[in-house]
Each structure stands twice: as structure tokens, then as C-alpha cells.
A and B are shown apart, each in its own frame.
Chain A
């Protein structure tokens, strides 16, 4: 697996295409509305493809294929969980959030609770979740580019970081959305092509492929291992991805880029169709990888299996397909990190700078300028951490972000929409409890402390999500509503009917 002029040429084409989109969008990126939510004028189909661009990330396209090849059937939780989460997104969150939000997640919560503390805690939470998720993408980017171009990992991470910063600083959400749309079409095409070529190796007989995978795999490729600790670990992963995917800030703000709830719903339906295809196919590619390459070759290339998709494409399609898949994986990473940067920079610039520091008085020009500076800051932090996190499976890193989102965002959003008594203190204490619980338990868990871990499970969702709910409840019952809170009825009218009373 080495760089060829062909590979370099396709990479250059991807960069040229995304830069072209960025500078096209940059001419239209004139105000805060355009910068943060593309003016709210995307169609449902466009936004649906952009959601695909967000969710079919490097963690799925690279990480899950490798994980399936090396760890077997337990990897199914990483694709079925997020897909199930889309039902919650469609039936519970998408439409009310479209009606309540403006540019960011904090705007949604601030539609009922105007306290600066609420906005600040939601903004900090959004920032942390997006940076966690960004690290997963940057680690994959660094591994991919250093392998293909022979450059050191840290240089590769910095180059991707610079590219993603340019996308956001120049083109804002419009550039991000169109990069994600183009990437979604490319990645879906690649997945379909790989599926056909892998199945062709077995006479288009899936059962022959599955048998070959079962014979070649070291792990149990179709069954799971049972045990108290493994059972709790599995459940904690499932809870995290099944709830957290529905509460990732960069996914939720996608519903602010469409004009109304009908288009938000259409977005979800299109994304369900395409993501369903992708997530159903990706495990089959994992079986193909282990059957055709063997687990030793996959682990030798990257011990976490992050390069299995590329190795597979080289085997079944030769240098041309390898170059295309590598470039599409690169585009995948660029598109996802762009979406993350816009979510993170929005929290920093719109919520913390404009709404809190400037009390909402910044001009349109100042808001866009602040968004651009914020994108640089967010990128720098993510790059530094990514350089230190080189040898971690990107699916695991992505799941960490999802745990924090599930623990802090899900309780607050659900109770915001459906619990009349929730008050300002309840929101803040819920966010703090969920966020702190998730982060602390990750830090004292096996992912960070190894065998000396104080908390035995890799994902803390079984504890941290209830902590988030408990924080909301305790904070509410132990305090009184503030004068600056909007009534539950006002919020409900806006969420359900799309009007401000």
C-alpha cells in the first residue's frame, strides 16, 4: 500500500474540488445566517445527503470495516445503534429543533431558558463533543495520509486541520454542506462498488463470503462472547450509540439549514435510506476484508484495523480503485471535520462570544469574523490532541463523543421538550452532571488508564446518562424557576406549530 502518481492525482483532485466549492460558497457567505446555517435554504434532499456526509464518517468507512474484520460480530452494535438513533432523531428531535433553533444547539435551549449559564454550559458541552469527534476523524486522516504519502503522522494531521479551517473560514455552512453532499455521493458509490467487487470474488454468493470470513477470522465473526463484564461493556456501547448519535451537535444543527419541518423530515427520510444502505454494507465489507486479506495482514498494516478498507480496495480493484477509495476516504474525513468545525466554532463564536460576551450586540460582519477566528481555535485544539491519540481505533474515539452527547444532551433535550417543570438550574445541573460524569469516567476507565482503571467499562454511558437525567431532576426540584424563563406553553407552541406566540 504505497503512494503512486495516480493516488496523488486523485487526492489533488479531491482537494481542488473541495476548494472550488469553498470559494464558490465563500462569495455567498456574507452574513451570520449564511455562515452558520447556509441561510436555512437547503432542500430536504440536499440536507439528507449532507446528514449522510456527517454520519458515514471515517469511523464507519474505515474503522468499522477494520473492527468487523478483527473483532467480529460485536461490531454490529456500531452500525445498528446509530441507525436506530435516527428513529429518535426523526420522531422526537428533528422537527421541534428546526422550529426552536437558529444557529446552534444552545439557541434551541435558550428558546425556553434565557440564562447565560444555560447558554454557556450548552456551548461548552457542544464544543467538547465536537472536539472529541473531530479527534476520531483527524486520527483516521493522519493514518491514511501518512501511509499514502509517506509523510509523518503529525504533518498529515496538521495539513487536514489547515484544510478544514479554510473550508469553514471561507465558505461557512454552505461550503460544508456541499462538500458533505459531494462526499456522500462519492462514498455511497465507493461502498456499492466495493460490495459488488467483493461479492464477485465469491460468485455473488453471500453465504460463501460469510463462510470464508468465519473460517479466516480469529474472532467470532457472527456470534458474541458472553460474560458479565463483556455484557455490561456491550450494553454501554449500545446505549451510547443508540442515544448519543441522535444528540450530536453537528447532526442536530443540520436541521437548522432547511426552511421548514417538512424539509427537515424529508432530510431524515433521505438520510435513512442512504445510511441504511451504507451501514448494512459496511459490515459485509468487514467480512470481505477478513476473508480475502486475513486478520494478520489487516493488523500488520494498522493494529486497530483502520486501513482494512484500503487494503481491500487494492486487492479487489487494483491501484485505480485503491486511489479512488483512498481519495474518497480523505474526502470523507474532510467533510466530517468541516461539519464538526462549524458546530464547534458556532458554539464558541455565536454562543460564547456574541450572545454572552457581546450580549447579542455583535454586527453581522463581527459575527462572521468571530466564526472564522473560532474555527481556527477549535481546529488547533483538535489537532494537538489528535497528534497524541495516534494509535486508537477511530470507532472507539467516535463513540467517546457519542457518550458525552448521550449523557449531557439527551436528558436536557428530552426534558426541555416534554417536562413542564424543568427550570434553568435543572438544565445547567443536567448538562454539568452528564458531561462531567461521562468525561471523568472515561478518564478513569480502561481506555485511558488501561488495566489500572478505576471504572471497569470502556463506555460510561450506563452511569453517565442516568447522571444527566438525575442532574436535571435534582436541579429542578431543589430550585425555583427564574423570571427570565419562557413558559412551557410558549416553547411548545413554537416547537409544534413553528410560530412564536
Chain B
């Protein structure tokens, strides 16, 4: 059953959530642009031209090499994100402790 809406969260929580969301976006947007953007750019170049068909090692082309390189790039992004997220976890815990247990209901 849907739960009734309250009047609104405490201002301290709103401010903390807004700051954390902005910081997360400041990290996520460049990372997503790097990975998805490069992948799509590669797609455009490979789809409309043959410049990536140049062979770099035996029959392996620059296209294939760049596709393979996508895997370690994603791995590095995930590693950096996880380190940043640990810091956000710590700050979330601090915020929740500062507003007290009875001002907010932990989800689920």
C-alpha cells in the first residue's frame, strides 16, 4: 500500500542530499561521457569510415584494439568511483547521525 507523504524532509537532510547528488553528478557525468562518449564516437568513425581498419598487429586492426581497450578503461572508472563512493558513504553516515535517528526513517 502506498504510504502517505509527509510534509517534507528536514532542511539539513535536503541540503546534504543536494550536495551529495551534485558531487556524484560531478563525478558521474565526465565518467559516463568518457566511456559512453568514446564508445559512440568510435562507432561513428568505424561505421562511416574505414580509417580504423588499419592493421596494428597481424590481422588485428586499430578498431579491434580500441574496442578491447574499452574493458580496462571501464575497470579503472569503476575503481575510482568505488573509492569516491566510500567517502560519500562516510559523509552520509555523519549527516544521518547529526540529524538523529527519529527525524528520518531508513528505507526498507
A residues near B, CB below 8 A? 40, 73, 76-77, 80-81, 83-88, 90-92, 95, 99-100, 102, 110, 114, 207, 210-211, 213-214, 220-228, 230-235, 238-239, 242-243, 261-262, 265, 268-269, 272-273, 276, 279-280, 355, 359-361, 418, 484, 486-487, 489-490, 492-501
Contacts of A228 in B (CB 8 A): 48
Contacts of A95 in B (CB 8 A): 85
* Complex contact A235–B43 (CB within 8 A): yes
Top-3 shortest CB links A-B: A501-B9, A231-B47, A360-B1
> Which residues of chain B (24-61) have a CB below 8 Å from chain A?
24-25, 27-28, 31-32, 35-36, 39-40, 43-44, 46-50, 52-53, 55, 57-61
* Complex contact A87–B31 (CB within 8 A): yes
* Complex contact A280–B71 (CB within 8 A): yes
Contacts of B108 in A (CB 8 A): 40, 102
Contact of B35 among A87, A102, A496 (CB under 8 A): A87
* Complex contact B20–A496 (CB within 8 A): yes
Contacts of B14 in A (CB 8 A): 489, 492-493, 501
**Cβ-Cβ contact count across A and B, 8 Å cutoff:** 200
Q: How far is the CA of A280 from the CA of B31 in the complex (A)?
A: 21
Contacts of B10 in A (CB 8 A): 501
A92-B48 contact in complex given A222-B61, A272-B74, A493-B14, C-beta closer than 8 Å: no
* Complex contact A499–B96 (CB within 8 A): yes
Contacts of A269 in B (CB 8 A): 78, 82
Q: How far is the CA of A234 from the CA of B35 in the complex (A)?
A: 17
Q: How far is the CA of A497 from the CA of B95 in the complex (A)?
A: 9
Contacts of A238 in B (CB 8 A): 39-40, 43
Min Cβ gap B80→A in Å is: 10
Min Cβ gap A219→B in Å is: 13
Contact of B40 among A40, A242, A265, A496 (CB under 8 A): A242
Min Cβ gap A122→B in Å is: 14
Residue with the highest number of chain A CB atoms closer than 10 Å, among B6, B21, B68: B21
A87-B74 contact in complex given A261-B89, A360-B1, A498-B106, C-beta closer than 8 Å: yes
Name A114's closest neighbour in chain B (CB-CB): B2
Contact of A77 among B32, B43, B57 (CB under 8 A): B43
* Complex contact B5–A490 (CB within 8 A): yes
Contacts of B63 in A (CB 8 A): 73, 76, 222-224
Name B51's closest neighbour in chain A (CB-CB): A226
Contact of B44 among A235, A276, A359, A490 (CB under 8 A): A235
Contacts of A110 in B (CB 8 A): 2
Min Cβ gap B57→A in Å is: 7
Contacts of A40 in B (CB 8 A): 108
Contact of B32 among A81, A91, A261 (CB under 8 A): A91
* Complex contact B92–A492 (CB within 8 A): no
Q: How far is the CA of A118 from the CA of B44 in the complex (A)?
A: 35
* Complex contact A500–B107 (CB within 8 A): yes
Contact of B9 among A85, A276, A418, A490 (CB under 8 A): A490
Contacts of B105 in A (CB 8 A): 499-500
A88-B32 contact in complex given A222-B63, A234-B43, C-beta closer than 8 Å: yes
Contacts of B67 in A (CB 8 A): 73, 76, 80
